[in-house]
Structure 1
Amino acid sequence: MLDLTPNALVAMLVVLAMLVVASITQWRLRSRLSPEAHLELKQRINSWWIMVAVVFTALMIGQTASLIFFAILSFIALREIFSILPVRISDRRLILALYLMVPLQYYWIAKDWYGMFIVFIPVYLFLLIPFGLLILGETKGFIRAVGSYQWAIMTTVFAISHVAYLLMLPADQNASGGGVGLVLYLVFLTQFNDVAQYIWGKKFGERKIVPTISPNKTWAGFLGGVATTTLLGGLLAPWLTPMSFWQGLAAGLLIGCAGFVGDLTISAVKRDLRIKDTSQLIPGHGGILDRIDSLMYTAPLFFHFLFYTSY
């Protein structure tokens, strides 16, 4: 079992309290919303209960369970990408091999082998994926296939695996929150940033940033959400991380901006492929990619910011 610090445990209870408030609010709004809008809101909140329960259970069971959970998350996300990309029939053997790289990447984390963790996908697989396609002998669509597969495994496996590696950082250097506190800090701020940008955009948003990609993204939403996330990052940093208030402000700013880019990037992918959601796995949310699009960008950036400033 992971060593849950009092601060990390309180953070979990706060998240659960927020879900209780959301559930009560949804119940009270049932007569004010249309049946369709109320059903979507109910589905979203119910899905959040399930997602939070699964994540918290994995974190509380222990390090191995947490690594397995994040490995499964990466596997499902990678599968979603391959299910929406125009994959060539000749590439199926290579795609199968890429699925097998998921447990290997998390094996480096379990062994706390940082050197291999940090170069395995961005260096070795980056070079081997084109070679694997060459062996298959299909040249039509070669460049698109190489770029698609490299980007897919970088975002869904390499990027997300940084969340899991937070649990391996020396716990004695973060007495306030431990590894669980670092994960909670990153994941909570990333998801909170999405909500904050949505609320600010709904309240004050008029000028759209990139209407051809995401019509709901406005300058007011972006700036308001990032400012809120930055402030919250500073306030939570001394409580859950080894960072100071001022370092937390920088981390919050980084998470706010990176989360926006991640969300917008997956929106562009869906626009290109002319789909609304990456799947229907999570009622009210869409697919795993729809839910972790921001995390794919915030995780590696926050990890290295924390690594080089606090460890």
Structure 2
Amino acid sequence: MANPNPLMVESSGSEPADAAVQSALRTLDAEGGGIAAIAAALQSDLRAPFVAAVDLIRNAKGRLIVTGLGKSGHIGRKIAATFASTGTPAFFVHAAEASHGDLGMITPDDVILALSWSGEQPEMKNLITYAKRFRIPVIAMTAERESSLAKAAGIALTLPKAREACPHNLAPTTSSLMMLALGDALAIALLEGRGFTSVDFSVLHPGGKLGALLKYTRDLMHTGEAVPLKPLGTKMSEALVEMTSKGFGCVGIIDGRGHIVGIVTDGDLRRHMDMGPRLMSATVDEVMTRNPKTIDRDVLAGEALEILNSSKITTLIVTEANKPIGIVHLHDFLRAGVA
């Protein structure tokens, strides 16, 4: 029967498959070399302009305007999106469209980050002229130190020369990745410099899987009568009824002050099966796990899920001043799209 998808490789040991993998490895090796070259440059010639670019963007009264054409334009859109999502107001302006009215999007309070590997794109001329006229700072990201763009910019982030992964050294591959990596480096340096937190991040990412991860424990927890609790001294027969009726597979144990001091789980029951019939008449004090793992109501859902996974448990008691105020189960994270 004919392969319905001719692009799929049918056997991993075939010659075409080996050739494809070798090609992929050459591509990754070339692109990895480009990233390594940037890392080396940041410790020498690129260091001072990189620091200057971070300071300029951080202190700007307006926004960061990212611009470019072709593959540089596509990379520029992603860089602008990364800046915007990490606390630096930014958007992309196509260098060619700028000459047809989009220059009006750029104000004297803004900073322009212009991407061009060659630094000689004629479509960028009007934008650079506009920037000079209104004294708008320009940061160039280019591989040509003596290019028109680099000379026109106040700060030139000169990328080290690198061979494209394309065997003809033509298709923008390594160069595009290098621009993207340097853009990410700028964005993260600004994020860390501003002390941008996961809470700040959650404000800008309310939707999708990421938005779910950035919900708080308080958004997912069960409260009130839904929380399975029993005081110290309770018979295990009563605790088992509480566990079964609430459906979380556990019951929190509280002391006379209402503080959480233990938990009885399905695992605790299994570990004490050797008690036989006496188990049901025993008190929770004899069976419970003391000092159970708890969580604060203001912990992000992603962090709470990590605690569940690393501790290999399915439930967490939510506390405030060591008093139980809620409970979250792994299923709650699944329903919310976090897990």
Instruction: Give the alignment's TM-score, normalised by structure 1.
Output: 0.23
Q: Which has the higher strand share?
A: 2
Instruction: Give the alignment's TM-score, normalised by structure 2.
Output: 0.21
Q: Which has the larger radius of gyration?
A: 2
Q: Which has the higher helix share?
A: 1
